[in-house]
Amino acid sequence: MRKKSTDELLKLIQQENKLESFLQANADEFEHTTLCAELNRLLIEHSKTKADIVRFSLLDKTYTYQIFDGSRPNPSRNKLLAICLAMNATLDETQRILRLGHYQPLYPRNIRDSVIIYSITHHTSVMDTNQILYDMGKELLG
């Protein structure tokens, strides 16, 4: 069965008179994956290890392991972006990680976000991405 688009769900909830009816009728449309589960799924899909992510993300080892085991449930947007770059996640995968982390997706009209989008699509390292951001006077990933 085809999943409804976000716009379709938005129209349905606006038209519905009873919240319970909407929730029951669309129960399988809601996101059930956790940030931790999705990061671990991507780790496997991209044939990376946590040690690889620590090395390439430039993040603290303990902190990174805590993100992956779920004991650090609210990592910053920058930390998630560094992890996505380190695992060579696609732009769609990165946007999903940001959504699951309750952060705004990367926005191409924002200069800093455009640099990060470029880095993701061109598989630029976190170190090189940080250098570009530094040269532009923008906030680093970590």
| pLDDT per position as a tens digit, 106-119 | 999 999 999 999 99
Helices H, strands E: what count in the chain? Answer: 9, 0
pLDDT grade for 32, boundaries at 50, 70 and 90 = confident
- Residue-wise over 7-39: b if at least 16 C-beta within 10 A, else e? eeeeeeeeeeeeeeebeeeeeeeeeeeebbebb
pTM of the model: 0.85
| pLDDT per position as a tens digit, 80-92 | 999 999 999 999 9
State yes or no: pLDDT of 3 exceeds 90: no
State yes or no: pLDDT of 1 exceeds 80: no
Measured between alpha carbons, how far is residue 105 from residues 5, 60, 65, 78, 102 in Å?
Answer: 17, 24, 24, 12, 9
What is the average pLDDT score of the chain?
Answer: 95
